[in-house]
């Protein structure tokens, strides 16, 4: 069975400051990893994904994430946030041969001016 833990339920951050959202997963097999963003009253949108290859993955809107197999982590970072980055962020995992996408509990990011 797979599981995903997002260590912070809420992250307040000032505009133009960096932000890091932590994600740890557990799985007995190899994994695919995803970060999705949900803006208020909308569905989820894909930010980035890791399938294989380079462990540093770049996504949309200036976000990037690093896959660390030894620490079973996939933390999301942005060097300078904007007010428009206020949203909820979800980490998710699946296996190449799996039959479902497992989501973490989400991290709410509130960007303050």
Partner 1 sequence: NAGVTQTPKFRVLKTGQSMTLLCAQDMNHEYMYWYRQDPGMGLRLIHYSVGEGTTAKGEVPDGYNVSRLKKQNFLLGLESAAPSQTSVYFCASSEAWAGQPQHFGDGTRLSIL
Q: Is 56 in the site for partner 1 (CB under 8 A)?
A: no
* Cα–Cα distance list, 85 to 70, 72, 93 (Å): 30, 26, 22
Q: Is 99 in the site for partner 1 (CB under 8 A)?
A: yes
Q: What is the SS3 assignment for 62?
A: helix
Q: Is 43 in the site for partner 1 (CB under 8 A)?
A: yes
Determine the straight-line distance between the first and last CA of the chain, rounded to whole angstroms. 41
Q: C-beta of 98: minimal distance to partner 1 in Å?
A: 6
Tokens 């799985």 -> residue: 27
The count of chain residues that interact with partner 1, using the rule CB under 8 A, is: 26
User: Which of 21, 65, 90, 111 is in the footprint of partner 1 by CB under 8 A?
Assistant: 90
């Amino acid at each position: 069975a797979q599981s995903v833990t997002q260590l912070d339920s809420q992250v307040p951050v000032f505009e133009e400051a960096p932000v890091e959202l932590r994600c740890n997963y557990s799985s007995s097999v190899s994994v695919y990893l995803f970060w999705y963003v949900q803006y208020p009253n909308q569905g989820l949108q894909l930010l980035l994904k890791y399938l294989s290859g380079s462990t540093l993955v770049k996504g949309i809107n200036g976000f990037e994430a690093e896959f660390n197999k030894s620490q079973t982590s996939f933390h999301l970072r942005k060097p300078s946030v904007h007010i428009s980055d206020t949203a909820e962020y979800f980490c998710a995992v699946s296996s190449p041969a799996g039959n479902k996408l497992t989501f973490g509990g989400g991290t709410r990011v509130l960007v303050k001016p």
